[in-house]
Amino acid sequence: MATVEQRINDHLTALNLSPEERARAKAAANELNVLLRRDFDPQGEVRQGGSLQRGTAIKPLKDVDLLVVLSEKNFPTLRSLSPDEVMRAIQAKLSALSLPARVQNRSLGLNFKNIPFDLVLCWRDSPESHVLRLPDLGRNSWLKTNPAEHNRLGDERDKACNQRLRPLIRGMKAWNVAHGKPLRSFHIEVMMWEVWKDGAPKTWAEGLQLSFSRLADRVLRQTADPAGKGPKVDEDVTDAQRAHASRLLHAAAALAGTLPAVPDPQAVLNRLLGTKPA
């Protein structure tokens, strides 16, 4: 019979995208990259971003971020255009390629090869080569971000946590989905980098219980962009939403604390993280 630790490890492992899913996302992204560069920005760059790039995406495969770094050669007036003007122009170009996209606050939503992509249009901030400017329609401005620094921090924190942090982050994201998405995915990830900054859990059971407990307290405070470039990660989260998320997380911590002694740990894991993916 599987131990509690084995069951937790198996459930967390099952949340990870399979090699086939990763290959399908990569192939679709590469094909889209060829189309975009061939048809409207040969000097541009299209690459994976977001949780798929950081290794924290969970099943099912969806909302794959692609960073579409536009070149100043093909968009010489980019800095003088509003985010809406650029997004509408790219939307029209995609439509001409029979790729209907919807305008979102910071990206274009596009279904390609049966995979939902978020195309994050951006351009390099020349003085800082790793810093990108991405659109924010709500502000009508271009925000700074540094995906390379986010990737570095994720790698650093996971290594310091004996490679247990990414699986736990995926677990917290699965909890979030199973409980109505009270928080944004990246918000959870950044908070996890912070609450597991010092040391690693001794067991998976401890890792789950402490993750829920620490997030329940941490979510009550605002979370800055860890790269120090963009706005607060949770700038639009209200006090009421923080309190609601904290209550849910405290309840999850209490339930996770029962795992070592319950007769059916898988049933508890399903309540916490949603049904284990096949």
Can you give the residue ranges of every domain in the chain? Answer: 4-16+149-273, 19-146
What CATH architecture does domain 19-146 belong to? 2-Layer Sandwich (3.30)
Can you give the pLDDT at residue 128?
65
Residue that wins the pLDDT comparison between 81 and 188: 188
CB within 8 Å of 3: residues ≥ 6 apart: none
DSSP secondary structure, 43-96, as one string: T-EEEE-HHHHHT--BSSP--EEEEEE--TTT-TTGGGS-HHHHHHHHHHHHHH
277 secondary structure, DSSP code: P
Compute CA 70 distance to the chain's CA centroid, rounded to the nearest angstrom: 22
The residue-averaged pLDDT of 120-142 equals 88
Give this prediction's pTM.
0.94
CA distance 170 to 30: 25
Q: List pLDDT tens digits, range 167-203.
A: 999 999 999 999 999 999 999 999 999 999 989 999 9
Contact 41, 67 (CB under 8 A): no
Q: List pLDDT tens digits, range 17-55.
A: 999 999 999 999 999 999 888 888 888 888 889 999 999
> Given a cut of 90, is residue 13 above it in pLDDT?
yes
**Smallest Cα–Cα separation from 157: which of 109, 121, 192, 117?**
192
**What is the per-residue burial (b if ≥16 Cβ within 10 Å, else e) of 103-119?**
eeebbbebebeebebbb
